[in-house]
Chain A
Amino acid sequence: MVAALTRIFGVHNLPLAEDVVQHAFLRAFEVWKLRGVPENPSAWLMATAKHRALDIVRNERTARTFAPELGRLLDTEWTMAPAVAEAFSAHTIRDDQLRMMFSCCHPQLPEEAQIALMLNILCGFGADEIAGAFLVKRSAMEKRITRGKKVLAKSRKLFDLTDVEFSSRLDTVRRGLYLLFNEGYHGSSARVAVRSELCHEAMRLVAMLMDHAPSNSAATGALATLLCLHASRLRARVNERGEITALAEQDRSQWDAALIAQGITLLEDASVGEVFSTYHIEAVIAAAHSHAKSIGDTNWGVIVLMYDRPMSIAPSPVVSLNRAIAIGERDGAAAGLQAIRDIADRERLDAYPFYFAAMGELELRLGNNAAARARFADAVRVARNVTERRFLTKRLAGVPA
């Protein structure tokens, strides 16, 4: 709704658009509590927002400038109503949401700000919800969002999807959605390790990219695959108490078969042609896991192959760690431990609990119980939240005396 309203009011009037949305929700609460929730709540909200937008245009058109693109259309009574109605039509709303997504991923903004803006404007998350998810103080998040909106306002209108910058902006948008999904999937929040709402929002936004021909490219398809395949494991990955289960131990019957099927189809479509992006690499790895009936069944050869491909982004110690784990699976625990020892810059992993946990696993498989216990204890020491601590403590307790 906010995106549709900025089409009418202009991006520089974003606060006005937000007020109208806020007002629509407040009215909804007041009316629905007496008359019950309508059959189509979002249509009701849209209609309320639309009426109020018309009122504002009517009453304030001498005092304010609205969207430059609509210009004269808002000047007279008989052109204003259709212009407002058009802004609220389904296909225009979809377009505007897409344009808003691209606008939020402004290259002048740091990535955390881009994600915060998308969550706030497109997904309706409040500043303190976003602050909680990213382990940041509420005041800092509010500042981040306000600064972001100022940058948006400077451009006066939403990003034009036919702009020459489209491809590079699309890269930024994809990265933003990837980071958003990961934040929900892996998370470093103090309250819960996994926040499925963030994953679902990221998937919803990627679906919008897929629906729009110019952004429906191989790399986008690979990203969509990746999100589907990871999301398929959410139910098995975290239980009601918020405890994480490692991939190796997940009950695969809990994996969402429909999402897996969808992901595999997306991957097939994205694998036609010559583009092989970093998202493809991760998607193939995820697919290797999704195809396997159990961890023992997994095609670790393919996975190591993927990790060995030269990647367009600089490999990170965490990626090297995952590769070493895959080598451990394919070639045995001793090879895995050696691969970990071979990681360049591995001191950078000193604050990453799963680095120690991986070594613990491998030592355990070799029967080096004392070494395993020491590594798991290291992991517990650097656990970043309650959920991780619980999971790693259980691991530690599981080492035979």
Chain B
Amino acid sequence: MADFLLIYRNTPAASAAAFGTPEMAQQNMQRWISWMRELESQGHLKDGGQPLEPGGKMVQGRSKAITDGPYAESKDLIGGYSIISATDAAHAAELAKGCPTLDGDGSVEVRPVGSMAL
């Protein structure tokens, strides 16, 4: 078993759709909670992670230029992350299929977390 970082990306349209009304927001939250519970009950959930709010800064290159962003309207804005454990990347990707962000046409990037273990 190894650790994998799941990076959630949502489209701006899908975000708006998920939070259109309080009922939709509630339903959306319920779907996430069910998926997380499923991962947890099967022993795959390492860390539920955190959401990432938009409105940060970018520090770029040798000039160390600071710009505002990314913004909520950006395509492929990272919305948050979680850490799961799985046998390999293929397995982790299978587990990621249950993520609700996919229903809104978002994506889940699955990256192995480098380990110091020998």
Q: A29-B19, A31-B51 are in contact. Are A36 and B33 (CB under 8 A)?
A: yes
Any B CB within 8 A of the CB of A247: no
Give A263 Cβ to nearest chain B Cβ, in Å. 33
Stretch among B24-32, B57-65, B110-118 lining the A interface: B24-32
A interface footprint on B72-101 (CB within 8 Å = 1, 0 otherwise): 000000011010000000000000000000
Q: Which residues of B contact A126 (CB under 8 A)?
A: 21-22
Q: Which residues of B contact A26 (CB under 8 A)?
A: 19, 25
Do the beta carbons of B48 and A35 come within 8 Å of each other?
A: yes
CA distance A35 to B45 in the complex (A): 11
> How many residue pairs bridge A and B at CB < 8 Å?
42
CA distance A27 to B82 in the complex (A): 17
Partner of A34, one of B25, B48, B53: B48
A interface footprint on B22-46 (CB within 8 Å = 1, 0 otherwise): 1001101100110011000000000
Q: Which residues of B contact A35 (CB under 8 A)?
A: 48-50
Q: Which residues of B contact A135 (CB under 8 A)?
A: none
Q: Which residues of A contact B50 (CB under 8 A)?
A: 31, 34-35
CA distance A33 to B80 in the complex (A): 11
Q: Which residues of A contact B19 (CB under 8 A)?
A: 26, 29
CA distance A30 to B51 in the complex (A): 6
Partner of A29, one of B25, B36, B48, B82: B25
Any B CB within 8 A of the CB of A85: no
Q: A34-B50, A34-B51 are in contact. Are A29 and B33 (CB under 8 A)?
A: no
Any B CB within 8 A of the CB of A37: yes
Q: Which residues of B contact A25 (CB under 8 A)?
A: 22, 25
Do the beta carbons of A36 and B36 come within 8 Å of each other?
A: yes
Do the beta carbons of A30 and B80 come within 8 Å of each other?
A: yes
Q: How many residues of A contact B (CB 8 A)?
A: 13
Residue of B nearest to A26 (CB): B19
CA distance A220 to B37 in the complex (A): 47
CA distance A32 to B36 in the complex (A): 10
Give A24 Cβ to nearest chain B Cβ, in Å. 12
B interface footprint on A26-53 (CB within 8 Å = 1, 0 otherwise): 1101111111110000000000000000
Do the beta carbons of B28 and A36 come within 8 Å of each other?
A: no
Do the beta carbons of A34 and B28 come within 8 Å of each other?
A: no
CA distance A74 to B22 in the complex (A): 32
Give B7 Cβ to nearest chain A Cβ, in Å. 12
Q: Which residues of B contact A37 (CB under 8 A)?
A: 33
Residue of A nearest to B18 (CB): A29
CA distance A25 to B25 in the complex (A): 9
CA distance A386 to B64 in the complex (A): 67
CA distance A33 to B51 in the complex (A): 9
CA distance A37 to B51 in the complex (A): 14
Q: Which residues of A contact B51 (CB under 8 A)?
A: 27, 30-31, 33-34
CA distance A34 to B74 in the complex (A): 22
Q: Which residues of B contact A36 (CB under 8 A)?
A: 33, 36-37, 48
Do the beta carbons of A34 and B22 come within 8 Å of each other?
A: no
Do the beta carbons of A33 and B22 come within 8 Å of each other?
A: no
Give B103 Cβ to nearest chain A Cβ, in Å. 13
Residue of A nearest to B40 (CB): A36
CA distance A32 to B28 in the complex (A): 11
B interface footprint on A315-326 (CB within 8 Å = 1, 0 otherwise): 000000000000
Give B108 Cβ to nearest chain A Cβ, in Å. 13
Q: Which residues of B contact A31 (CB under 8 A)?
A: 50-51
Q: Which residues of A contact B36 (CB under 8 A)?
A: 33-34, 36
Q: Which residues of A contact B32 (CB under 8 A)?
A: 33-34
Do the beta carbons of A32 and B22 come within 8 Å of each other?
A: no
CA distance A35 to B51 in the complex (A): 9
Give A31 Cβ to nearest chain B Cβ, in Å. 6
**Residues A118-138 near B (CB distance < 8 A):** 126
Residue of B nearest to A129 (CB): B22
Give A309 Cβ to nearest chain B Cβ, in Å. 45
Give A142 Cβ to nearest chain B Cβ, in Å. 15
CA distance A373 to B22 in the complex (A): 47
Residue of A nearest to B21 (CB): A126
Q: Which residues of B contact A34 (CB under 8 A)?
A: 32, 36, 48-51, 80, 82
Give B101 Cβ to nearest chain A Cβ, in Å. 10
Q: Which residues of A contact B33 (CB under 8 A)?
A: 32-33, 36-37
Residue of B nearest to A37 (CB): B33
| Of A31, A34, A37, most B-chain CB atoms within 10 Å | A34
CA distance A31 to B36 in the complex (A): 12
What are the 7 closest A-B residue pairs judged by CB atoms, nearest first?
A: A33-B32, A30-B51, A34-B48, A35-B48, A33-B29, A29-B29, A29-B25
A-B contact pairs, 7 of them (CB 8 A): A26-B19, A29-B25, A29-B26, A33-B33, A34-B36, A34-B50, A37-B33
